[in-house]
Amino acid sequence: MGWETDHAPRQDELDGCVTCGLCLPHCPTFRLTGSESASPRGRLAAMAAVAAGTAEVDERFEEVMGLCLQCRACEPVCPSVVPFGRAMEGARAEIAVQLPTRRRKLRAWLLGRVLPSRTAVRVASMLAAFAQRLRLHKLPIRLLSRIGGLRRLPLGGPSRAGESRTAAGERVGTAALLIGCVQDAWFGSVNEAAMELLTAAGYDVSAPSGQSCCGALAAHDGAAAATERLAATNVAAFANYDVVVATAAGCSAHLAGYGEWASGGEELADRARDITVVVAEAIADGRLPRLPPRAISVAMQDPCHLRHAQNVVGETREIVSAAGYEPVEIDDKGLCCGAAGAYVLSQPKTSDELGLHKANQVRASEATIVASANPGCEMQLRFHLGDRYDVRHPIELYAEACRGFS
């Protein structure tokens, strides 16, 4: 009965909810089901029931928490500023400890050990690259079919770990690049664009080799010990840089919450930025150029962990405009695309419904290029949109446009 770990939802977090219900229409799973049990307010009520001793961490509790995408769309609309994402990570950590299944232990191992291992990710990437060439993603197996959402992978390729470059022009500071786990292997050109733009904007850039996966996926799954270990590794690796830059929205949002997971984490969180914020700032300062317009539309997809968790919306539009494109809005609510990290595999039905909805919003815009600043969203969009659409990170679009002009 009750909570068993230090990460559990805290009483002040639960008391923060005055049950007004203004979060409900912003929650993707409430929109799909109309059910209070699939809403932020309902989930907090369930946590409060456990805290009060009137409910247990049982299978139904796990289901109720498991359906949450952790998109945090409820946070910016909450007048009482409940830190819902934090409380949900706490609830997941409790589930992991109180209902330890073999499946969850396997996941904790995958997210805590395999994903942060560059060798393991390289091997997996190579296998996926072969699978792509053999067109195995056409087989009716969910995990394999998702390879269809990946960019065409190289059979091998360099990691950026350990690389460093010096600022071009006037130096404004030092930047460390979090190369990420899958970002390094699968989205190398995004990290390449980041390094180019950061040096052009006046940063000495390094990708310290001692760094690890940020731990966001482990935290979302309740693998608290792994999350703490990964956070501590990164706190050490990223000391002494002016800014720490992540190229995936999920990573930058997680770095912003490092205070929860490691000593010194708060200090790192203060220096952490999403690449889109740093690049937009440099464009506004005139350290990076604005390129002439060329009448091509780009559909803007907001990763939840940029829009809802970090209130970053205008920055991506700025970057896409500076690249010469016309940003087109597809969704004024910023509803989650359903990728949500490992959710795409753990909750296939909901994930597919939201993915199809998002794809239809893109199709309605008539743009064939889509800008998305998070690898999970990108894969989900490509999977649901098909080959006719070009889904790219906004800084990639911008870096490419800059290359064409230099």
CB 280 within 8 A of CB 319: yes
Binding stretches for other proteins (CB under 8 A):
15-25, 33-37, 41-42, 45-46, 49, 54-55, 58, 60-61, 64, 77-82
Q: For other proteins, which is the closer residue by CB, 37 or 117?
A: 37
Name the minimum Å distance from CB 24 to other proteins: 5
Give every CB contact of residue 244 below 8 A, 6+ residues apart in sequence: 175, 176, 178, 238, 255, 268, 271, 272, 273
Residue closer to other proteins, measured from CB, 83 or 394: 83
If the CB atoms of residues 82 and 354 are measured against other proteins, the closer one turns out to be: 82
Whether 375 contacts 305, CB under 8 Å: no
* Whole-angstrom distance, CA of residue 24 vs CA of residue 14: 16
CA distance 344 to 258: 25
Closest approach of other proteins to the CB of residue 60, in Å: 5
List C-alpha distances in Å: 250 to 7, 20, 157, 256, 257.
Answer: 20, 28, 24, 10, 11
Minimum gap (Å) between residue 284 Cβ and other proteins:
20
Residues 338, 192: Cα–Cα separation, whole Å: 27
Nearer to other proteins, 36 or 192 (CB): 36
Q: Name which of 31 and 392 has its Cβ closer to other proteins.
A: 31
CB-CB neighbours of 136 under 10 Å: 16
Nearer to other proteins, 66 or 157 (CB): 66
Q: How far is the CB of 51 from other proteins (least distance, A)?
A: 11
Helix (H) or strand (E) holding 301: strand 297-301
Minimum CB distance to other proteins, residue 62 (Å) = 10
| Residue 351 CB, nearest approach to other proteins (Å) | 17
